[in-house]
């Protein structure tokens, strides 16, 4: 042994790990350590360093093992070693294993490395060459606890690589051989021989490939017919150690308990790696589920119980296909016929640290859940229970292939109700997911086992909705704070939960329409016929924070979901028609002027449009007209200003309800057009009718005519009579556009200067009661003036949205009605957008207080919804600042929406110089716009502008806008992502710093939103219209027909496609996983077309490929979860481009430690592979070779295979859309989609 080299290795390791070393010293040391691995004697040096008896420190031992691993990984298959030398390497690995220190003594990272070494050798030589591998491991398993633990880890890691890793580093043929070996050694000889006999006697039921695999497995057990197999062996050991653990628990033998805990966890983790795939007969051998569920109610440690739950979860997540006999034996019988489910329930109770847990009932646990918080560790265990039960329900109880009902199924459903009632939104939402799947199961529905749970679930939903904001109790917020890092996620979480609720209620209604409709209408009638004096205020009106009102409001919300689900299905309507008429009569005869009761009451009335539409009985409509028009002039009789705002909302709600009904039955409304006009004329004289109300009534008339079956000439005549008055008012209020002629005049008009002058005298937090009345009147007058113009603008947007966007048979012809107004509207909104953008130019704020400018132009932040800000803005000058800020934001947003909608009109693209006009007007002051403005511009203007563009205008619109837009936004994004700060001290209690933290969060969110809007635009423009991720074959051929015309134009336009590809490549590097992932997916899906263009070879094979290969993409920890996608992109680029040119080859050649031989070996494997996985393996294997492991990462353990909590994953995934309603046509389910007003 050359001591000089050993001393040099140790010296370099010390240099690398010494904090005082310079970068140059560390770089030189790392260089030597990498070079020594290429020495032919490196395994010998490594072996000497790694042997425990040679008294090297752990760092040297770890590096020594790595030297042997390198030799095995990179030289084994290159025939560098003779058969004898390979045997020596195997013996080295086994010697290291045998000499490992004690379980509690040896460092985990040393044990992990020894395991990896043996696994790497096994991957290359077992079972074909290393034929006694399993016999050796069995001997070592029995030797002592130290080697026993390592044997467990070896089989666990090997099973993970073969069966569980998404992209395995094992070639497919070797993988099949190892898989057969694992099945053979894990099963008992008896099981294998029985299966072999079955194959021999039933050749018609098996494939030749299965027979060949079976013969290989049987060969491995010939001469060893008493072999019990690893599953039985591990299970027996588990049972033995369980007893020892409980005995030592009684005597408090701490050292022994620690050892036993590690071993039990190792056994459970190894079983978890096998249970997912072993043959069912082997699982029958060990009868594992009863053993596991019993462990839950015994005195085991947290780690053991967690591993137990993970093992149960793996069994529940196993796919049984159509094998219901095995499902019965392995899952249903242990859980439902024996004590399995009871044990899980008792364990659940134990988590709450309740004495006499076996006597607690489900009802009692329900009460405990809402009265006592779980400590965080116990909550995590309950999340595992939740995942087990949900997966059991989704995969097995609701399985489409199941044709029977398991015994005692109600016990399971009761537990799922308990989960649904849990105060954790993660757990409750997970249960919702199960119930959604269950109510799609024909077996469960036909057997009628679900019916009794519908009212129970509805009661739970009603209870949650009755809170106003879901999951807002203290105990519920406690769990939200554990599950989610930022409280700003609350709204998104709640929306996801509510969408699931909506989906579930719709499924209920589909299944039992009459019963569900009866339930909800019965609840409403009961509430409206009752009263609660304690919920009334001093005027005798129900308070909106009272229990009575919240229950009423929640019940109405459920009613809206049920009614909308019935609306588009004539069969469901016919079933509930009689009950609907009874409910109609009740509501029509019901009289209330209570403001909060009324606003929900109006909404319910509008849903009877179903009755009118399907029955053609206009008497129902006339009574509805009478009711709803009576609310258009609503005014509370009590002389009080308290309900002034809600009274306005009631009037507006009555009008919008009439409008929504008109969209459903325009022709029936048209029969009463003159009567409606006369009624509106009378109403307009009422002093309580606001300008907004009048505009909405005009919208009603226009919408009736627009969607009716009148001839187009008659429609134009009726609409002009009304719409011309709106246009004239717009001209007058804007002084023929003069108020938008310059930033100075605009700011004067909307009240910026007046507010600035007031703030020069008074502070922003000055109480309004302390101001002179003339100042208040001035501020209110300015607000009224600008609001009037805004209301006209909003009215135009509403009309466009409810005409152009509504699909029906006459809509294309109807669009010409807008031609006469198009130019005026377009020019007006562009002018408004332009002057609005100018506000973000600081030079236009001369003589305006800087703090006012800052407040007005700050993006509406998440902080603004806080109680502090709300209180601050109620009775101070700050109230007017916030009102003005909201006006500025809303005005430019509506302009964007209108412009985007106008692109649906054919006249838009024929307008003279439209491209230049948009650039000059809409992108004015572009450099000063905020991320939110840019996001809105891209989403609401640019995307529809390009998507709706006719082919003959591509060369004008696309060429003028896209190249400059892409380059500008890309440059902006690169600059801003570079400046994003991620190091935030979450424990800082300083209020000011907390505000900065919140602002930083908000800024990062706006940057992510902008990035995602750009990626979505690219996706809309170029992605083929095929199912996500689908590849037609190994050569990645995608039919050119699946790409839109605009995609082909972009692919052929060098001025567009090159900056677009550069932008996608840049976005991959940003620290936003959604944008990065989407960019990779877009590139993968358009590559088949791109490689047809020789002018794109350089950017694909060089720039994009380099990006995917770069260390801060492939090695960056942030992008780790995208490694699979990155490998797919790299593989596709090389596979599609390499046959056409040398550019990808040259790009790979530039990587460190890359050689021509390595690339050629990879190419040989890549182009001869028969599966996509093998192709990707060839690339991954090459990158593993050159990527290596940095010295600083040497002591990190290989992470175990741990699936994230299913429940959280389900809640956050993008699968929360309406599962039933994909209909884009006009219908109640579309028009009344906002269930929570």
d(C-alpha 270, C-alpha 231), whole Å? 9
Question: Residues 444, 438: contact at Cβ < 8 Å?
Answer: yes
Question: Residues 732, 849: contact at Cβ < 8 Å?
Answer: no
- Strand-pairing partners, residue 536, are 542
- C-alpha closest to that of 156 among 220, 87, 103, 231: 231
User: Residue 1042 has what pLDDT?
Assistant: 84
Confidence band of 1185 (pLDDT split at 50, 70, 90): low
Residue 1110 burial (C-beta neighbours within 10 Å; 0-12, 13-18, 19+): middle
Residue 229 to residues 220, 224, 278: CA-CA distances in angstroms?
12, 10, 12
- Sign of torsion, CA 486 491 495 498? positive
495's CB contacts (< 8 A; 6+ apart) are 1216
User: Residue 226 has what pLDDT?
Assistant: 79
d(C-alpha 193, C-alpha 201), whole Å? 12
Q: What percent of the chain has pLDDT over 70?
A: 89
Tokens of 699: 């919208």
User: Residue 1222 has what pLDDT?
Assistant: 41
Rounded to the nearest integer, the mean pLDDT of the chain is 87
250's CB contacts (< 8 A; 6+ apart) are none
- pTM here is 0.84
Question: Residues 646, 599: contact at Cβ < 8 Å?
Answer: yes
User: Residue 3 has what pLDDT?
Assistant: 83
**Is the model's pLDDT at 96 over the cut of 60?**
yes
User: Residue 841 has what pLDDT?
Assistant: 92
Among the listed ranges 347-356, 488-497, 823-832, 982-991, which one has the minimum average pLDDT value?
982-991
User: Residue 1187 has what pLDDT?
Assistant: 45
Instruction: Answer left, alpha or beta for residue 1032, where phi above 0 means left and psi between -120 and 50 means alpha.
Output: alpha
d(C-alpha 87, C-alpha 124), whole Å? 12
- Sign of torsion, CA 1041 1045 1046 1048? positive
pLDDT in tens, 269-314: 999 999 999 988 899 999 999 999 999 999 999 999 999 999 999 9
* Cis before 676? omega within 30: no
pLDDT in tens, 996-1022: 545 566 668 889 999 999 999 999 999
d(C-alpha 133, C-alpha 405), whole Å? 45
d(C-alpha 726, C-alpha 789), whole Å? 11
d(C-alpha 974, C-alpha 982), whole Å? 16
pLDDT in tens, 780-804: 999 999 999 999 999 999 999 999 9
1010: three-class secondary structure by DSSP? helix
User: Residue 94 has what pLDDT?
Assistant: 95
Confidence band of 1027 (pLDDT split at 50, 70, 90): low
- Strand-pairing partners, residue 542, are 536
With b for 16 or more beta-carbon neighbours within 10 A and e for fewer, the 178-205 pattern comes to bbbbbbbbbbbbbbbbebbeebeeeeee
Q: What's the mean pLDDT in 1084-1093?
A: 94
Tokens of 897: 């929406």
Confidence band of 255 (pLDDT split at 50, 70, 90): very high
Among the listed ranges 165-169, 258-262, 513-517, 741-745, which one has the minimum average pLDDT value?
165-169
d(C-alpha 957, C-alpha 959), whole Å? 6
DSSP 834-859: HHHHHTT-GGG-TTS-HHHHHHHHS-
d(C-alpha 678, C-alpha 930), whole Å? 47
Tokens of 1170: 């028969």
User: Residue 988 has what pLDDT?
Assistant: 42
**Is the model's pLDDT at 487 over the cut of 70?**
no
**Is the model's pLDDT at 1114 over the cut of 70?**
no
d(C-alpha 861, C-alpha 872), whole Å? 15
Q: What's the mean pLDDT in 1054-1077?
A: 93
Tokens of 1115: 């090695």
- C-alpha closest to that of 822 among 923, 903, 739: 903
Among the listed ranges 42-51, 252-261, 355-364, 1055-1064, which one has the minimum average pLDDT value?
355-364
Any idea what DSSP says for residue 407? T
d(C-alpha 523, C-alpha 556), whole Å? 9
d(C-alpha 1198, C-alpha 327), whole Å? 33
121's CB contacts (< 8 A; 6+ apart) are 72, 76, 89, 90, 93, 130
Any idea what DSSP says for residue 539? T
Question: Residues 1135, 1163: contact at Cβ < 8 Å?
Answer: no
531's CB contacts (< 8 A; 6+ apart) are 548
Tokens of 145: 């606890």
d(C-alpha 7, C-alpha 990), whole Å? 52
421: three-class secondary structure by DSSP? coil
Any idea what DSSP says for residue 1095? G
- CA-based radius of gyration for the chain: 35
End-to-end CA, the chain: 81
Residue 794 to residues 273, 613, 891, 896, 898: CA-CA distances in angstroms?
60, 29, 8, 12, 9
Residue located via tokens 């008294």: 55
Question: Residues 683, 633: contact at Cβ < 8 Å?
Answer: yes
Question: Residues 1091, 1100: contact at Cβ < 8 Å?
Answer: yes
- Strand-pairing partners, residue 876, are 767
pLDDT in tens, 735-762: 988 999 999 999 999 999 999 999 999 9
d(C-alpha 26, C-alpha 1223), whole Å? 64
Confidence band of 567 (pLDDT split at 50, 70, 90): confident
Confidence band of 805 (pLDDT split at 50, 70, 90): confident
User: Residue 989 has what pLDDT?
Assistant: 45
Q: What percent of the chain has pLDDT over 90?
A: 63
User: Residue 1176 has what pLDDT?
Assistant: 86
Q: What's the mean pLDDT in 392-413?
A: 93
Question: Greater confidence, 566 or 1120?
Answer: 566
With b for 16 or more beta-carbon neighbours within 10 A and e for fewer, the 592-625 pattern comes to ebbbbbbbbbbbbbbbbbbbbbeeeeeebbebbb
- C-alpha closest to that of 896 among 935, 844, 857, 954: 935
Q: What's the mean pLDDT in 847-871?
A: 66
Residue 297 to residues 247, 350, 1230: CA-CA distances in angstroms?
16, 8, 50
pLDDT in tens, 444-477: 999 999 999 999 999 999 999 998 777 778 888 8
d(C-alpha 620, C-alpha 194), whole Å? 73
User: Residue 659 has what pLDDT?
Assistant: 96
Tokens of 64: 């020594």
C-beta pairs of 544-548 under 8 Å, 24+ apart in sequence: 544/596, 545/468, 547/466
1022: three-class secondary structure by DSSP? helix
Q: What's the mean pLDDT in 637-658?
A: 86
Confidence band of 1181 (pLDDT split at 50, 70, 90): confident
Phi, psi dihedrals of residue 1041, rounded to the nearest 5°: -70, -20
């Amino acid at each position: 042994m050359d001591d000089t080299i050993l001393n040099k290795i140790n010296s370099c390791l010390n240099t690398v790990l010494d904090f005082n070393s310079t970068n140059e010293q560390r770089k030189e040391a790392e260089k030597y350590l990498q070079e020594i691995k290429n020495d032919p004697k490196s395994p010998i040096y490594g072996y000497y360093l790694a042997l425990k008896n040679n008294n090297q420190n752990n760092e040297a031992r770890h590096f020594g093992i790595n030297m042997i691993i390198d030799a095995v990984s990179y030289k084994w298959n290159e025939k560098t070693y003779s058969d004898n030398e390979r045997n020596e390497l195997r013996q080295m690995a086994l010697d290291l294993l045998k000499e490992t220190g004690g379980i509690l003594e040896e460092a985990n990272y040393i044990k992990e490395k020894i395991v990896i070494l043996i696994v790497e050798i096994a991957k290359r030589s077992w079972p074909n060459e290393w034929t006694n591998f399993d016999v050796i491991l069995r001997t070592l398993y029995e030797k002592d606890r130290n080697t026993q633990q390592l044997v467990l880890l070896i089989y666990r890691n090997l099973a993970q690589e073969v069966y569980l890793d998404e992209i395995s580093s094992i070639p497919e043929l070797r993988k099949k051989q190892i898989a057969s070996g694992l099945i053979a050694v894990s099963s008992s000889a008896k099981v294998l021989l029985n299966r072999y006999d079955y194959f021999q006697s039933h050749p018609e039921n098996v494939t030749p490939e299965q027979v060949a695999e079976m013969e290989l497995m049987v060969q491995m057990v010939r001469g060893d017919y008493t072999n019990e197999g690893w599953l039985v062996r591990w299970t027996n050991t588990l049972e033995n150690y369980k007893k020892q653990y409980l005995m030592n628990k009684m005597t408090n033998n701490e050292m022994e308990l620690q050892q036993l805990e590690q071993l039990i966890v190792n056994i459970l983790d190894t079983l978890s790696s096998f249970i997912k795939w072993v043959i069912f007969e082997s699982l029958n051998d060990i009868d594992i589920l009863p053993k596991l569920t019993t462990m839950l109610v015994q005195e085991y440690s947290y780690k053991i119980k967690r591993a137990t739950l993970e093992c149960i979860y793996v069994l529940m997540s196993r796919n049984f296909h159509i094998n219901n006999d095995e499902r019965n034996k392995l899952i249903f019988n242990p859980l439902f016929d024996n004590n399995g489910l009871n044990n899980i329930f008792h364990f659940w109770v134990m988590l709450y640290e309740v004495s006499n847990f076996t006597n607690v009932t489900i009802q009692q646990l329900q009460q405990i859940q809402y009265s006592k918080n779980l400590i965080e560790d116990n909550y995590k265990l309950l999340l595992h229970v939740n995942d087990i039960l949900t997966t059991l329900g989704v995969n097995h109880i609701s399985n489409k292939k199941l044709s029977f009902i398991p015994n005692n199924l109600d016990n399971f459903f009761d537990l799922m109700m308990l989960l649904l009632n849990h105060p954790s939104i993660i757990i409750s939402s997970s249960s919702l997911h199960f119930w959604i799947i269950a109510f799609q199961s024909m077996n469960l529905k036909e057997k009628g086992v679900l019916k009794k749970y519908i009212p129970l679930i509805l009661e739970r939903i009603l209870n949650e909705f009755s809170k106003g904001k879901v999951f807002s109790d203290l105990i519920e917020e406690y769990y939200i704070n554990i599950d989610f890092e930022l409280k700003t996620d609350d709204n998104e979480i709640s929306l996801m939960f509510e969408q699931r609720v909506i989906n579930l209620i719709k499924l209920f209604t589909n299944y039992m329409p009459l019963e569900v409709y009866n339930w909800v209408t019965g609840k409403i009638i009961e509430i409206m016929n009752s009263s609660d004096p304690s919920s009334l205020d001093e005027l005798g009106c129900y308070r909106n924070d009272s229990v009575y009102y919240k229950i009423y409001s929640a019940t109405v919300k459920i009613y809206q979901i049920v009614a909308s689900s019935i609306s588009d299905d004539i069969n469901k309507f016919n079933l509930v028609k009689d009950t609907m008429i009874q409910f109609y009569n009740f509501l029509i005869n019901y009289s209330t002027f209570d403001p909060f009761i009324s606003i929900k009451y109006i909404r319910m009335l509008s849903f009877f449009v179903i009755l009118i539409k399907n029955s053609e009985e206009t008497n129902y409509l006339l009574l509805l007209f009478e009711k709803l028009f009576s609310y258009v002039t609503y005014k509370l009789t009590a002389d009080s200003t308290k309900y002034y705002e809600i009274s306005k909302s009631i009037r507006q709600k009555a009008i919008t309800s009439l409008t929504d009904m008109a969209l459903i039955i325009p022709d029936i409304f048209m029969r009463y057009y003159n009567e409606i006009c006369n009624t509106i004329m009378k109403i307009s004289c009422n002093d309580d009718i606001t300008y907004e109300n009048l505009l909405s009534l005009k919208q009603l008339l226009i919408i009736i005519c627009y969607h009716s079956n009148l001839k187009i000439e008659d429609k134009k005549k009726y609409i002009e009579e009304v719409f011309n008055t709106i246009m004239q008012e717009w001209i007058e209020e804007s002084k023929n556009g003069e108020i938008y002629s310059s930033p100075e005049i605009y700011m004067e008009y909307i009240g910026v200067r007046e507010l600035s002058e007031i703030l020069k005298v008074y502070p922003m937090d000055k109480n309004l009661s302390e101001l002179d009345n003339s100042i208040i009147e001035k501020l209110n007058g300015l607000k009224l003036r600008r609001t009037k113009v805004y209301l006209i603008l909003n009215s135009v947007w509403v009309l466009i949205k409810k005409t152009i966007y509504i699909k029906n048979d006459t809509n294309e012809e109807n669009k010409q009605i807008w031609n006469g107004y198009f130019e005026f509207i377009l020019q007006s909104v562009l002018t408004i957008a332009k002057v609005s953008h100018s506000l973000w130019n600081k030079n236009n704020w001369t003589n305006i207080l800087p703090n006012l400018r800052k407040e007005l132009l700050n993006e509406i932040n998440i902080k603004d919804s806080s109680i502090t800000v709300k209180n601050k803005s109620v009775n101070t000058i700050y109230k007017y600042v916030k009102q003005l800020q909201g006006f500025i934001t809303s005005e430019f947003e509506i302009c964007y929406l209108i412009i985007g909608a106008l692109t649906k009109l054919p006249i838009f693209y024929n307008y003279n110089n439209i491209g230049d006009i948009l650039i000059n007007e809409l992108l004015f002051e572009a450099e000063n716009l905020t991320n939110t403005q840019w996001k809105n511009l891209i989403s609401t203007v640019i995307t529809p502008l390009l998507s709706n563009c006719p082919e003959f205008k591509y060369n004008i619109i696309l060429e003028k806008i896209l190249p400059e837009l892409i380059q500008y936004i890309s440059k902006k994004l690169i600059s801003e992502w570079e400046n994003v700060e991620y190091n935030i001290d979450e424990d800082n209690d300083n209020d000011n710093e907390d505000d900065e933290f919140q602002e930083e969060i908000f800024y990062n969110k706006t940057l992510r939103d902008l990035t995602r809007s750009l990626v979505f635009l690219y996706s809309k423009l170029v992605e083929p219209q095929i199912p996500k991720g689908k590849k037609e074959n190994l050569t990645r051929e995608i039919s050119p027909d699946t790409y839109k015309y605009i995609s082909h134009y972009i692919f052929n336009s060098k001025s567009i496609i090159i900056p677009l590809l550069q932008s996608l490549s840049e976005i991959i590097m940003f620290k936003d996983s959604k944008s990065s992932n989407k960019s990779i997916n877009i590139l993968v899906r358009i590559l088949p077309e791109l490689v047809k263009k020789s002018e794109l070879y350089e950017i694909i094979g060089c720039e994009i490929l380099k990006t995917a290969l770069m260390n801060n993409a492939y090695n960056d920890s942030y992008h780790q979860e995208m490694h699979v996608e990155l490998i797919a992109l790299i593989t596709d680029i090389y596979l599609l481009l390499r046959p056409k040119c040398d550019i990808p080859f040259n790009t790979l050649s530039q990587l460190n430690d890359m050689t021509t031989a390595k690339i050629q070996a990879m190419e040989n494997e890549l182009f001869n592979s028969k599966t996509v996985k093998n192709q990707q393996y060839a690339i991954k294997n090459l990158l593993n070779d050159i990527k290596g492991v940095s010295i600083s990462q040497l002591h990190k353990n290989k992470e175990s295979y741990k699936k994230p909590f299913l429940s959280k994953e389900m809640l956050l995934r993008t699968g929360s859309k309406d599962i039933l309603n994909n209909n884009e046509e006009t219908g109640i389910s579309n028009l009344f989609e906002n269930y929570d007003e």
